[in-house]
Amino acid sequence: MLAEIILNIMEIKDLRMRVMEIDDIKPCLDFVNSAFEKNMLTKGPVQEENDINSAPWSWYGLPEIWFSVVEFNSRVIAYCIVRRVGGVAHLHSIVVEPGSQGKGIGAFIMERYPKEHCGNKSLPCILTLHSYTTTDYNHEFYLKYGFKLYVDNDEKIFLELNEWISNCNKHHDWPLTNKKILFFKIL
């Protein structure tokens, strides 16, 4: 809630979420490492490539991947990357530049990204994201925005999960290993 109050001071009207243009990539790459290093004052491991030739940047231009930025006074201060698989919108990345963290920008993205840039696709019916048992500093953030931590057999209750699980299966990434965990939110 505090974040929302600070965001009001920062003036929500000066914030804009839009599709990432090719010229926005460089400013985003410039703050990847420092964003993870600060991470709301909880120093965490850097979990994103800052090499333009590696994923997720090498996915730029693929129709199923949405790249978005948030601008404040026409300056790029955050980005998010979402993979769309059928009714699933998988949040691959959410990164806020270090100087703008703790001011409600992450909240602004979490509330908007499922509806942004759907193009002619229907709205997603489930949001998913991966995290790690070792990066519990961001679990609190996801739980705050209504995500649930997957536990065995949740797909028997929340049938929407099956689409993401079969996608992971196709890429030999299910069951999840190497401390990877799944959060999801049914819309």
Ligand X SMILES: CC(C)(COP(=O)(O)OP(=O)(O)OC[C@H]1O[C@@H](n2cnc3c(N)ncnc32)[C@H](O)[C@@H]1OP(=O)(O)O)[C@@H](O)C(=O)NCCC(=O)NCCS
Site string for ligand X, 124-163 (x = CB under 6 A): -------------xx-xx--x-------------------
Is there a cis peptide before residue 114, judged by omega within 30 degrees of 0? no
- How far apart are alpha carbons 124 and 89 in whole angstroms? 6
Give the helix ranges, DSSP H, for the chain.
2-10, 25-38, 105-112, 139-144, 154-157, 161-170
Q: By CB under 6 A, is residue 176 in contact with ligand X?
A: no
Q: By CB under 6 A, is residue 42 in contact with ligand X?
A: yes
Residue 168 CB partners (closer than 8 Å, separation 6+): 174, 176
Q: By CB under 6 A, is residue 35 in contact with ligand X?
A: yes
Pick from 107, 118, 125, 181: which binds ligand X (CB under 6 A)? 107
Provide, rounded to whole angstroms, the least separation between the CB of residue 70 and ligand X. Answer: 9
- How far apart are alpha carbons 187 and 61 in whole angstroms? 27
Q: By CB under 6 A, is residue 103 in contact with ligand X?
A: yes
Contact 59, 65 (CB under 8 A): yes
Q: Which is nearer to ligand X, 34 or 162 (CB)?
A: 34
Using CB atoms within 10 A of its CB, is residue 185 exposed (0-12), middle (13-18) or buried (19+)?
buried
- Cα distances (Å, whole numbers) of residue 93 to 14, 33, 74, 89: 23, 13, 21, 12
Q: By CB under 6 A, is residue 9 in contact with ligand X?
A: no
Q: By CB under 6 A, is residue 1 in contact with ligand X?
A: yes
Q: By CB under 6 A, is residue 106 in contact with ligand X?
A: yes
Provide, rounded to whole angstroms, the least separation between the CB of residue 10 and ligand X. Answer: 10
Pick from 84, 104, 128, 185: which binds ligand X (CB under 6 A)? 104
Site string for ligand X, 62-101 (x = CB under 6 A): -------------------------------xxxx----x
Q: Are strands 126-132 and 88-96 parallel, antiparallel or unpaired?
A: parallel
List interacting residues with ligand X (CB under 6 A). 1-4, 35-36, 39-40, 42, 44, 47, 93-96, 101-107, 137-138, 140-141, 144
